[in-house]
Structure 1
Amino acid sequence: MSKSHWVLDQTHSSIAFSVRHMMISNVRGTFENFSASVDADPADLKNAEITATIEAKSIDTHNADRDNHLRSDDFFQTDKFPEITFKSTELNDHGKGKYTLQGTLTVCGVSNLVTLDCEVVGPANDPWGNERIGVTATGDLNRKDFGLNYHAVLETGGVLVGESVKLSIDMEFIKQA
């Protein structure tokens, strides 16, 4: 079978993250505007080509002041780097829909290889005759690996913002004719 092109159904997709705040709780957020595509044979995903682009300014932590700080030069520098991008380099099949996805993530002009644990469900047909696949991906990355070095030490010796960022991604794709 040959590769098919699959486009993102953003209505049924999300990119979420969490980061420790003051070392005692987690702040959660999402990116609201993003696109992604997959070029793959659903019967054999090992040669899948996966790309994603996130509008950095679309960050939303449900706090306008914090979101504006995250858009500033202390973090994402969204005026200089409006997009966060991902391009897959390798997909390893562990059976039963479980995969390890590796790819190049570029944030603030800094590119690093990241690894995500993935689950692929489908393909399945929707009520309108479209073929769909679902992808769930999780992973951890260190924000400092991408130049997000903002650092404020607390009186107690901890830090205001943790270095580890936990990602939780859910995406649904529709096969194109």
Structure 2
Amino acid sequence: MQIGTESASVAGSAPTGGRGLHARVSTRDGWAVPHAVATVTDTAGRQVARAEAADDGTVATGPLAPGAYTVVVTAVGYLPAARTAIATGSGAAELGTLVLARQGGVELPPPGTWTIDPAHSTVAATAQHLGLSSVHGRFTAFGGRIEISPAVEGSAVVAEIDAASVDTGNAMRDEHLRSADFLDVAHHPVIAYRGGGLTPAGPDRWTVHGELTLAGVSRPVDLDLSYLGTGPDPWGGVRAAFRATAELRREDFAMNWNQVVQAGIAAIGATLRVELDVQAVQGEVLPQA
């Protein structure tokens, strides 16, 4: 049904025209929940109105009969929330902002130090090969810490990767990647990322602003970060899960080696897509798992 068109189901008991129930539904970090549904029942438990939130999270119904009501708000992926609303003689009932909590976790990880768990995380990169298909690789040795600030925009991350741990499933190719043509692990054994400052990019999404040092060259690199939730683990700890992506240009890091195989088609594409799936454990020490 359309927002604002549903009103009290008891004929003649509500004022005509004007404003009824009005509220805004949001997550704990302030993002609107546009798919939320508000159901209004009277003291006898009868449904008198129902409305779906608009794109900005606003919920509105037609005027209500004066009195007390229960408003239950539901949304896929969130725990339901209930509030009491009082309709005035004009039929209006103002609820302000109603906050929904995510099912299975909090909206943001609790502030403090979180240690990346390499055993349950993945650092992967994909490059195009011959303009036809993709070559997938990963790094098997890495670590780092995330500092969650009470104001999430001030959070930071520090991570280091053992460059020699690159693994594409082909020993000859991996040795070439370790050479001076690419990672030059003999002179630059560590790939480092330091991020400081987050910019909101949508519900549960942020842009992490940071600097990547790769093969001895440092460049600004932003990560597109998604927060996947927080929950307990079997070892008595608390874990947070994140997914981050970035696209790198090889020439920005002086990795200019290539081979033209035919009619301008290069053996390796000019860009790398980096994908990070990270589990971080609350605290400075990883549990024995």
TM superposition score normalised by structure 1: 0.93
Q: Confirm or deny that 1:56 pairs with 2:168.
A: no
Contact 2:126 2:134 in 1 (8 A): yes
Q: Confirm or deny that 1:137 pairs with 2:221.
A: no
2:184 corresponds to which residue? 77
Provide the secondary structure at the position in 2 that maps to 1:144. helix
Map 1:125-164; keep pairs closer than 5 Å: 125-164=232-271
Q: Confirm or deny that 1:121 pairs with 2:228.
A: yes
Give the CA deviation at 1:93.
Answer: 1.9
Identity value in percent: 33
2:200 corresponds to which residue? 93
Please list the CA deviations of residues 17-45 of structure 1 after superposition, one character each: whole Å capped at 9, or x if unmatched: 1001111110000000000111113x632
Q: Confirm or deny that 1:38 pairs with 2:146.
A: yes
Q: Confirm or deny that 1:168 pairs with 2:272.
A: no
Quick check: which one's strand share is greater? 1
Please list the CA deviations of residues 76-96 of structure 1 after superposition, one character each: whole Å capped at 9, or x if unmatched: 110000000000032112342
2:174 corresponds to which residue? 67
Which one has more relative contact order, counting CA pairs under 8 Å at least 6 apart?
1
Name structure 2 gaps, 5 residues minimum: 1-109, 285-289
- Take 2:228 and 2:151, find their aligned partners in 1: how far apart are those partners? 13
- Take 1:123 and 1:44, find their aligned partners in 2: how far apart are those partners? 17
Give the CA deviation at 1:11.
Answer: 1.2
1:8 corresponds to which residue? 116
Name structure 1 gaps, 5 residues minimum: none
2:126 corresponds to which residue? 18
Q: How many residues align?
A: 175
Contact 2:154 2:196 in 1 (8 A): no
Give the CA deviation at 1:131.
Answer: 1.5
Q: Report the RMSD for the aligned CA atoms in angstroms.
A: 1.5
TM superposition score normalised by structure 2: 0.58
Q: Which amino acid aligns with 1:131?
A: V
Distance 1:154 1:38, change over 3 A: same
Give the CA deviation at 1:166.
Answer: 0.5
Give the CA deviation at 1:150.
Answer: 0.5
Instruction: Give the structure with higher Rg (CA).
Output: 2
Give the CA deviation at 1:70.
Answer: 0.3
Q: Which amino acid aligns with 2:252?
A: D
